[in-house]
Amino acid sequence: MPDRAAGDAERLARIQQRFSAFAAEYAALPLYSSLCRHLADDGDLASLLLVARPGQARPVLWLAALHDLVLRRPDVPAAQWYPSVVGPDHTPTGDPWSDVRRTVVENRDEVLQQIATHGTQTNEVNRAVYVALGLVAASLDSHGRPLALVELGASAGLLLAVDRYDVRVDSSSGPSLALGDRGSTVHCVGHDRSGVTAAHRTSALELPPVRGRVGVDLEPVDLSDDEAVRWLEACLWPEVPGRIERFRAARDLLRGQQPTVLRDDLVDGLRRAVDLTREQAGAESHVLVHSSWALTYVDASRRSDLEAEVRALAGDCEVLSWLSAEPPGCAPGIEPPAGVDGGGTVLGLRRWREGRELEPVTLGTCHPHGAWVDLTFEGLEEQTS
C-alpha cells in the first residue's frame, strides 16, 4: 500500500507540472491558463486526473471534463466564464477560480466519471489547413490520381471531408491559396509563415479529387448522437474565436453524409479501412493514411506496429502515402526540425511508390490547430523531378 501511495504522489507531481507547463505555453488563453496555474498548486483537484486511462492524464482531459459539465449544466457557477455557454461578449472579468473550484467540488463525482471513462477526442476542423497542404504535397507526383483517405484516430471523421471545406492559406509574400470548396459553409484559415504557397504558385497547387474516405477510431462519434457530439465540443478550447462555430458548421454540413469511421484499434483496423476506401475510390487510387495528434496518445510499441503495417500495405498499393501531424518523436521515421519543442506539431510525409519507399520528408511545423504553417516542399521536388 505505501508503494501505491508513493506512486500516486509521483504521478500527481507530474500532473501538476503538466498543468504548470500548459499555463505557460498557452498564456494567451485567459481562462484555461488561469485554471491551469491554479491546478498546478491545487493537488486535491489536480488529483482527479489520477483516474484517467493510460496516456490520458493530461490537462486537456481535465479541462474537457469541466467544459462538458458546463455545457450540460449552464446553471453551475463556472458556466458564466465560458464563451461557449454565454457567448463571447458576455463573460465576466477577473479570476474564475473561485467559481470553478466550487463547481468541481460540488460536482466531483460527475467530473471524475467523465475523466475515468473518456479520452481526449479533438475534431478540430481548422486542422484542415495543414491536412489539405499535406495532401497536396503527397500528391505532387501522383499526376491527379483520386485520393482514398484513411484517418487514424478519426473520431467523427470531420477531417476526412477536408475537400468539402473552404480552406484558405494566407501569405505575406503573395495572394491567398484557396483549396477545397469555396462555396462551403465551413471556413478554415491559416497563415503561411514560410511563403511556400506563394513560391509554388506556378505549380498550381490543388487538392486531387477525394473518392474514398474511411476513418478508424476506438470510440467513433455518430454526428446524430447529441451526447457524443457534446463531448467533442467539450474537447475544444472555448475561448479560441471561431472553433466552436466552425465545429458546429461542420457537423451541420456532414450530418446525414458522415464518412465511415470503423470502431477499431488504429493498427488492427488499418488494413480493413484501406480495403474499404479503395473500394470507394478504385484500385488505381492514391491511398493516403493520415493522423493529427492521434499517435501522441499511442504507446511507442504500437507506433512501431503501425509502421510495420503500413509497410506491409505498400506491397498491395501502387501509390501509398503516410501523412502525420504529430508532436516531435511520435511519428516513426520523421525527424523533427531543430528547435521544435514538445508541444509543437511536426508535419511529416512517408511515401511508397510501386512498393519502394522514397526518402521520408519532414515538411515542417504547424500550429496544432492550423492557425499557421511553416513548411517546405523542397525534398519532394528532388524526388519527383
Sign of the dihedral defined by the CA atoms of residues 151, 153, 157, 158, in that order = negative
Q: What is the pLDDT of residue 173?
A: 78
Categorize the per-residue pLDDT at 198 as very low, low, confident or very high, splitting at 50, 70 and 90. confident
Highest mean pLDDT among 128-132, 239-243, 340-344 belongs to 128-132
Q: In this structure, which amino acid lies at residue 310?
A: V
Q: Judging by DSSP bridges, how do beta strands 187-192 and 210-217 pair with one another? A: unpaired
Per-residue confidence band for 306, with pLDDT thresholds at 50, 70 and 90: very high
Cβ proximity of 191 and 373 under 8 Å: yes
State yes or no: pLDDT of 381 exceeds 60. no
Q: Grid coordinates in use for 169?
A: 492559406
* Residue pLDDT, tens place only, 145-190: 999 999 999 999 999 999 999 999 998 877 889 999 999 999 999 9
Percentage with pLDDT > 70 across the chain: 95
User: What pLDDT does residue 234 have?
Assistant: 95
pLDDT of residue 202 exceeding 60, the answer is: no
Mean pLDDT of 223-236: 94
* pLDDT top residue among 54 and 35: 35
Decide if pLDDT at 51 tops 70: yes
Q: In this structure, which long-range contacts are made by residues 306-314, counting pairs with CB atoms below 8 Å and at least 24 apart in sequence? A: 306/152, 306/266, 306/267, 306/270, 306/332, 307/332, 307/333, 309/267, 309/270, 309/271, 310/270, 310/350, 311/352, 311/357, 313/270, 313/271, 313/274, 313/287, 314/352, 314/355, 314/357
Among 19-23, 84-88, 343-347, where is mean pLDDT lowest?
Answer: 343-347
Given a cut of 80, is residue 5 above it in pLDDT?
no
What's this model's pTM, rounded to 2 decimal places? 0.85
